[in-house]
Structure 1
């Protein structure tokens, strides 16, 4: 590798080229004329040109010096910009693309509010939401900017922030035979169920809770997403079990009734995760803060919106 010259000479070169004299450059740099003269000598050896030569009673720039002048100014300005603290974030002019990974439940909950906020506060930002799949936390190191859902066994270089909790509810078609019922455990177990799972497994904490009461249920179908489960319920007399906040949003857009599940089921944490590389990035911090505020504004119903299912936990 080629040995770099002393970069401390760059400010002196800039001052000499602009002042056109050793004395003027020394005054600008607040050093003695002899110190500036020594700097000029070193610059002549590095550049391979005299730079300033006698002309009458003063000095004049050589052709090489005049050629260097705009480049030196630009290099110095670039170096100073690189070493200054990061400027305050200006959302109105921010140009950035963020890739987020989550499931359809979370996307339905925060997606509309987040896109509305982006358009209002940071119109140059673009959101790219990817579906959950075979998640690898290492994707946060280069491919994913923010992961939202349940997080397990994260590497040491991943940071997390808790957004809240979510619980589950049942939805049924609004004109169905039990849409207005207050479900009992027995009635709940007797009705056909639609659950959401990526791998088709049907047993979950619901079955454990029913078993403690001496009951068992029949899972009519499994669906790959919460949205699909709601559409299944619209064309059947089955209950679709989905996160409560998602159920409320779905009932606003579809003729669905939201029913309480008559079991003592656990709440699940909703977490956002990101890599250390963006931990202090102002734009990324704004994104995380915006998401946290949106989740909080959703209110206490179910403790928050839906999160990613555990590795393959059906409800």
Structure 2
């Protein structure tokens, strides 16, 4: 029997995505074409691979057993067949999509863009906003690099901790707490607060830390971005807790005051994430290096 390597790619995508539509989007083919590939895989293996259970599809025991083996085999085949080539930055033409936390775009985006334009003028960068829900674009190859505080859990997503920053309190100048030499957890909790949340959450890890001290705070609003939350704080007596890196321009540009947080919390990490399919991609590796350098300026080394 002659082996069709295209079926190996289709099988890997089907096992990773768990659906015909997801596998088709990942390999940039139509859903009918992927359905035909699934049919050929079923005839070749003698196994259904994916079976429908209600509105979703479930992998068979055989599919689960071979998932890692198929993925590793495809990775080896791609490594053998991928041509070895030098990266010519002067002639490189490519568009990279980056989904970064808004504060990281503001702080590190200009340095990254400047470095890219200097080294590879044919490269374009698309910075897109983070979604309010977890989305699979990174796995599908629709997003090249993510940068935020989240540690990915999917086994096919690479992540590197490129820095960390501590949390601080931001308030308007003249806020009653700014007149104190130091503030206590009780005084912090007694104030009114605004949170930063893509999902609109009115609570976060700060509330857990306060609860351990027997304290609660009153959160009167949430904002989808740190920039919006800082504006809320500037025009009221609301407090907002943000990574210290965010305040570098806020203090000067918005006339805000920065106060130490009277709680024991670990530093906020800065993670750079990408899909493992780009591990050996020279252009992607080059961009990761520039992004790593740019993001490292946002905080201290981990």
TM bucket (normalised to shorter chain) is 0.5 to 0.7
Over the aligned positions, Cα root-mean-square deviation in angstroms equals 2.3
Partner of 2:119: 121
Partner of 2:178: 179
Structure 1 gap ranges (5+): 1-81, 305-315
- Is the CA contact (8 Å cut-off) linking 1:248 and 1:258 kept in structure 2? no
Partner of 1:145: 144
1:40-79 → structure 2 map (5 Å cutoff): none
* CA distances 1:11-37 after superposition (whole Å, capped 9, x unpaired): xxxxxxxxxxxxxxxxxxxxxxxxxxx
Q: With the length of structure 1 as denominator, give the TM-score of the two structures.
A: 0.63
Deviation at 1:262, TM superposition (A): 0.5
Equivalent pairs, count: 219
SS in 1 for 2:178: coil
- Is the CA contact (8 Å cut-off) linking 1:105 and 1:243 kept in structure 2? no
Name which one, 1 or 2, has greater alpha-carbon Rg.
1
Structure 2 gap ranges (5+): 1-80
Counterparts of 2:277 and 2:91 in 1: how far apart (Å)? 22
* CA distances 1:16-67 after superposition (whole Å, capped 9, x unpaired): xxxxxxxxxxxxxxxxxxxxxxxxxxxxxxxxxxxxxxxxxxxxxxxxxxxx
Partner of 1:110: 108
Partner of 1:215: 215
Counterparts of 1:234 and 1:83 in 2: how far apart (Å)? 54
SS in 1 for 2:90: helix
Q: With the length of structure 2 as denominator, give the TM-score of the two structures.
A: 0.66
- Is the CA contact (8 Å cut-off) linking 1:170 and 1:247 kept in structure 2? no
Deviation at 1:202, TM superposition (A): 2.1
* CA distances 1:203-229 after superposition (whole Å, capped 9, x unpaired): 322122222323221112111111110
SS in 1 for 2:216: coil
- Is the CA contact (8 Å cut-off) linking 2:166 and 2:266 kept in structure 1? yes
Counterparts of 1:298 and 1:212 in 2: how far apart (Å)? 30
Partner of 1:55: none
- Is the CA contact (8 Å cut-off) linking 2:109 and 2:294 kept in structure 1? no
